[in-house]
Amino acid sequence: MSQIQYREAIRQALAEELTRDPNVVVLGEEVAQFHGAYKVTEGLLEKFGPKRIVDTPISEAGFIGMGLGASMLGVRPVIELMFWSFYSVAFDQILNNAANVRYMSGGQIQCPIVIRGPANGGTNVGATHSHTPENVLANHPGMKVVVPSTPYDAKGLLKSAIRDNDPVMFLENTILYGDKGEVPAEEYLIPLGKADIKREGTDLTIVSYGRAVIQSLAAAHLLQQEHNVSVEVIDLRSIRPLDIDTVLASVRKTHRALVVEEQKPFCGVGAQLAYMIQSEAFDELDGPIARLSTIDAPAIYSPPVETEQLPNPQRILRAAIEALG
Amino acid sequence: MANIIEMPKLSDTMTVGTLVKWLKKEGDAVKSGDILAEVETDKATMELESFFDGTLLSVFIPAGSQVPIGAALCAVGKPGEKVAAPEAKAPPAAPAAPPDAPPAAPATPAPAAAPAAAPVSKAPVPPAAADPAGRVKISPLARKLAVEKGVDPAGVAGTGTGGRIVRADILSAKAAGGKGGSAPFAGGAALGAKGPVQEEALVPVSNIRGTIARRLLESKIQIPHYYLDIEIDAGPLLELRAELNAALEQEGVKLSVNDFILKASAEALRQVPAVNCSWEGTAIRHHSAAHVSFAVAIEDGLITPVIRDAHLKTIFAISAEAKPLGKRAKEKKLAPDEFTGGTFCVSNLGMMGIDRFAAIINPPNAAILAVGTTVRKPVVKDNSIVIGQRMSLTLSADHRVVDGAVGAAFLAAIRDLLERPSLLLL
């Protein structure tokens, strides 16, 4: 196995699927000639040509609507958003149309689009470029929502997303793009809706996804070193479908749960998880379900303060200690 | 980093605790769950448990000291680790927590939602509060375990956040089994002894004595007490009690006179619910449940364990509850929710030979019933003088809530029930 960057893993997934299926196309602002704002699509134009790697105008509602229409006729577009924050320009196309096409057509029409791009804070790009809309997206039946934390997961999940016949929202992270991880040379897929236990433990279950998983693992390490607390870290990988069974099995083992999300708390993914855990495993809980989220405010522009607004290992560690009380 | 263990908040009214005794000394190995020290709150003596494995590195507070909630008591860490004596409530220094900042100990979690850049806070925990309605704070898992292991959670001190009983508490209660044994009261001096009556001494006021002093003074100053006396025929009650105790001896039933009084009080509160109320300044709270407490003398004070929902319980259930409550009260082992939340109180000095007395109301109750001893004396019955068994009852009532006629109706209800005690078996 070789160590490759998260962005390279996504690029490999795109290239493999573009090669495997001639219906796969890549659309987005500057994905072709400029190789993507974060260089994820580097080299794809040269390899697959301008009919399959398409630069679009700065018009999310337009090019996402175009991709959606094309998908209904058999094309499998992978649409890049420069930032997921701009999805709201195309809110109607994504959440009113794409999410409902199969249902409204009585199952006759499929909508196999993937919309992908970074959705994260922590890079000092301000409140309008730092949205994490996985909860908003997952609130819509018909949507699938994937948030990978590692290069291995990003590649395997993106290939499954492209082959899926429903709209899949794929939320990446600009801070993770440069992270390296092991990815096998041979082809593999990771099914959507299957959580991964990233670290085994016995005293506390941390449920997380995306970059918060990486930070939870750092906190789990500190908790073991400094407090002799054994933490299990579960990476949901996909928010919808949600692998609640893996979460519940872990809670039944540790009896304590902490949800960590890079996400505003109000009506967030953590709220849904807390509800589901107590609903299914109330008698297994030895304390209230704890939650560590982004502090509830627009993304703060000051870099040191933004670091404290987001989940970070020290905040997670403190929340974990409290969850153990 | 060593873990600093702080004075936890062990009862809803606690502000300081007395560190009675260290059970571990510096250099001792400590396991999570070990008892480090005994702490006396304003109500009871409780155990201070370690949540950490390691070595007791440093003890900051000598035994006998009064310590405010949140103050550092000791440090547990790796053997040989250096620990600086904690500064009192160090102010925040750096804008962000240093990477190896110690988190708050689990016993005293940092308050949630601190400002983004605040360091780990060591501020005192907000009151955990024994639920005034008398619910035992217990995690769902611990509740399930308690049933499985046959442990009564009401007698278990919780070590979780806010005094919540957690899994470890049930397991250690199970392991401890029925430990107990209270210190006997000091015996009386021999007759004809020489020397001083007692050592001349200035004894600091203990937490429990301070609480009694404060609350009873408040009661006498703030509550317009008035008193109603009644004398009842205790003959039928004593007969029924003797009969039941003889017949049910095999079942382990041993009803006391006080059990009948508690049951009669609950029933009388149902008949005259205006007594089951509390003055709250701009409103009078009507309590739906009769939680009847009874005063128990303990070393250096008294405490009032509560029979919850006495209005729903048989006299046998009340008796079965009152006995262990009284015993554990004397051992100072009551959990906060076992002596708070009463809506009416009974104080019985009958067994001490007192004919009658007037008790001070235990706020926020609206009344208290003082029970005297039962004496044989001549009474007029059917125009002739016969020997009667007479017991006197005195009701102290809060005139803001309970007017004289209401208090009289309540006492009459109690008398009717106690003079026809078979009604109390219904």
- The string of pLDDT tens digits covering residues B252-294 is 889 999 999 999 999 999 999 999 999 999 999 999 999 999 9
Among A282, A305, A325, beta carbon nearest to B160 = A325
Query: What's residue B121's pLDDT?
Result: 35
* Nearest residue of B to residue A225, measured between CA atoms: B1
CB contact under 8 A, B103 and A227: yes
Contacts of B166 in chain A (CB under 8 A): 286-287
Report the C-alpha gap between B234 and B98 in whole angstroms.
72
Mean pLDDT, residues B2-18: 82
The pLDDT tens digits for A57-79 are 999 999 999 999 999 999 999 99
Query: What's residue B125's pLDDT?
Result: 35
CB contact under 8 A, A283 and B141: yes
Average pLDDT across chain A, whole number: 96
Mean pLDDT, residues B131-145: 79
Residues 283-312 of B with CB under 8 A from A: none
Query: What's residue B101's pLDDT?
Result: 40
A227 touches chain B (CB under 8 A): yes
Mean pLDDT, residues A23-42: 96
The pLDDT tens digits for B177-227 are 743 333 333 344 455 666 778 888 888 888 888 888 998 999 999 999 999
B96 touches chain A (CB under 8 A): yes
| Residue A129: active-site member | yes
The pLDDT tens digits for B317-358 are 999 999 999 999 988 888 888 999 999 999 999 888 899 999
**Cis peptide before B364, with omega less than 30 degrees from 0?**
yes
* Nearest residue of A to residue B97, measured between CA atoms: A314
Report the C-alpha gap between B40 and B14 in whole angstroms.
10
Locate A55 and state its tokens. Answer: 């630069």
Q: Minimal Cα–Cα distance from A121 to chain B, Å?
A: 15
Mean pLDDT, residues B293-298: 92
Mean pLDDT comparison of A174-188, B81-95, B131-145, B330-344, highest-scoring range: A174-188
Question: A52-56, B26-30, B41-45, B126-130 — which is least confidently predicted?
Answer: B126-130
The enclosing H or E element of B250 equals none
Query: By C-alpha distance, which of A310, A312, A237, A250 is closest to A276?
Result: A250
Backbone dihedral region for residue A165 (phi beyond 0: left; psi -120 to 50: alpha; all else: beta): alpha
Among B100, B106, B141, beta carbon nearest to A255 = B141
Report the C-alpha gap between A123 and A211 in whole angstroms.
13
Mean pLDDT, residues A35-51: 96
Q: Return the ∠ at Cα A240 (arms to A234 and A244), rounded to 5°.
A: 45
Candidates B121, B141, B148, partner chain A, best to mutate (most A CBs within 10 A): B141
Candidates B121, B166, B169, B171, partner chain A, best to mutate (most A CBs within 10 A): B166
To the nearest whole percent, how much of chain B has pLDDT over 70?
84
Q: Minimal Cα–Cα distance from A25 to chain B, Å?
A: 43
Helix, coil or strand: residue A272: helix
The pLDDT tens digits for B69-125 are 888 898 988 888 888 777 654 433 333 434 444 443 444 333 433 333 333 333 333
B101 touches chain A (CB under 8 A): yes
CB contact under 8 A, A314 and B164: no
Provide the 10 A C-beta neighbour count for residue A307. Answer: 18
DSSP classification of residue B366:
S
User: What does R_g of chain A's alpha carbons equal in angstroms?
Assistant: 19
DSSP A106-150: TTS-----EEEEE----SS--GGG---THHHHHTSTT-EEE---S
Report the C-alpha gap between B190 and A46 in whole angstroms.
109
Which runs of E-coded beta strand occur in B54-109? 54-59, 66-68, 72-77
Query: What's residue A6's pLDDT?
Result: 97
Under a CB-based contact definition with an 8 Å cutoff, are residues B157 and B47 in contact? yes
Under a CB-based contact definition with an 8 Å cutoff, are residues A231 and A215 in contact? no
* Nearest residue of A to residue B98, measured between CA atoms: A314
Report the C-alpha gap between B184 and B189 in whole angstroms.
15
On the question of pLDDT at B49 being above 50, the answer is yes
Query: What's residue B44's pLDDT?
Result: 80
Among B3, B99, B116, beta carbon nearest to A309 = B116
Mean pLDDT, residues B125-135: 48
B110 touches chain A (CB under 8 A): yes
A322 touches chain B (CB under 8 A): yes
CB contact under 8 A, B104 and A305: no
Under a CB-based contact definition with an 8 Å cutoff, are residues B76 and B52 in contact? yes
The enclosing H or E element of B391 equals strand B384-398
Contacts of A304 in chain B (CB under 8 A): 95-96, 117
Return the residue matching tokens 């982004």: A294
Would strands B384-398 and B367-381 be described as parallel, antiparallel, or unpaired?
antiparallel
Query: By C-alpha distance, which of A75, A68, A73, A72 is closest to A51?
Result: A75
Query: What's residue B182's pLDDT?
Result: 34
Contacts of B112 in chain A (CB under 8 A): 322
Q: Burial level of A209, CB count in 10 A (0-12/13-18/19+)?
A: buried
Contacts of B164 in chain A (CB under 8 A): 287
Query: What's residue B88's pLDDT?
Result: 53
Sign of CA dihedral B64, B65, B68, B69: negative
DSSP B144-161: HHHHHHT--GGG----SG
Report the C-alpha gap between A234 and A213 in whole angstroms.
8
Query: By C-alpha distance, which of A144, A132, A309 is closest to A210?
Result: A132
Question: A118-132, A309-323, B27-41, B412-426 — which is least confidently predicted?
Answer: B27-41
Residues 137-196 of B with CB under 8 A from A: 139-144, 160-161, 164, 166-167
| Residue A60: active-site member | yes
Contacts of A285 in chain B (CB under 8 A): 139-141
Residue of A8, A17, A60, A261 marked catalytic: A60
CB contact under 8 A, A285 and B109: no
The pLDDT tens digits for A120-169 are 999 999 999 999 999 999 999 999 999 999 999 999 999 999 999 999 99
Half-sphere exposure of A250 (CA within 13 A, CB side): 30
On the question of pLDDT at A268 being above 50, the answer is yes
CB contact under 8 A, A308 and B103: no
Exposure b/e, B366-376, CB count within 10 A at least 16 = b: bbbbbbbbbee
On the question of pLDDT at A41 being above 50, the answer is yes
Q: Which pTM was predicted?
A: 0.53
Residue of A129, A134, A261, A306 marked catalytic: A129
Query: What's residue B46's pLDDT?
Result: 85
Contacts of A283 in chain B (CB under 8 A): 140-141, 143-144
State how far the alpha carbon of B26 is from the alpha carbons of A6, B83, B86, in Å: 51, 12, 16
CB contact under 8 A, B106 and A325: yes
Query: What's residue B91's pLDDT?
Result: 39
Mean pLDDT, residues B218-241: 94
Candidates A224, A231, A321, partner chain B, best to mutate (most B CBs within 10 A): A321
Return the residue matching tokens 């670290």: A199
Name which residue leads in pLDDT, A88 or B109. A88
* Nearest residue of B to residue A295, measured between CA atoms: B116
Size of interface A-B (CB pairs under 8 A): 72
DSSP classification of residue B217:
H
* Nearest residue of A to residue B161, measured between CA atoms: A325
Q: Burial level of B204, CB count in 10 A (0-12/13-18/19+)?
A: exposed
CB contact under 8 A, B117 and A318: no
Return the residue matching tokens 């000639």: A33
Mean pLDDT, residues B369-388: 91
Query: By C-alpha distance, which of B157, B176, B209 is closest to B10?
Result: B157
Residues 30-59 of B with CB under 8 A from A: 51-53
Contacts of B117 in chain A (CB under 8 A): 304-305, 308
Give CA torsion, residues A149, A152, A157, A162, to 10 deg: 120
Average pLDDT across chain B, whole number: 83
State how far the alpha carbon of B318 is from the alpha carbons of B234, B249, B373, in Å: 20, 17, 21
The enclosing H or E element of A145 equals strand A144-146
Report the C-alpha gap between B270 and B274 in whole angstroms.
9
CB contact under 8 A, B117 and A305: yes
B106 touches chain A (CB under 8 A): yes
Residues 281-320 of A with CB under 8 A from B: 282-288, 295, 300, 304-305, 307-309, 314, 317-318
Return the residue matching tokens 């909860």: A135
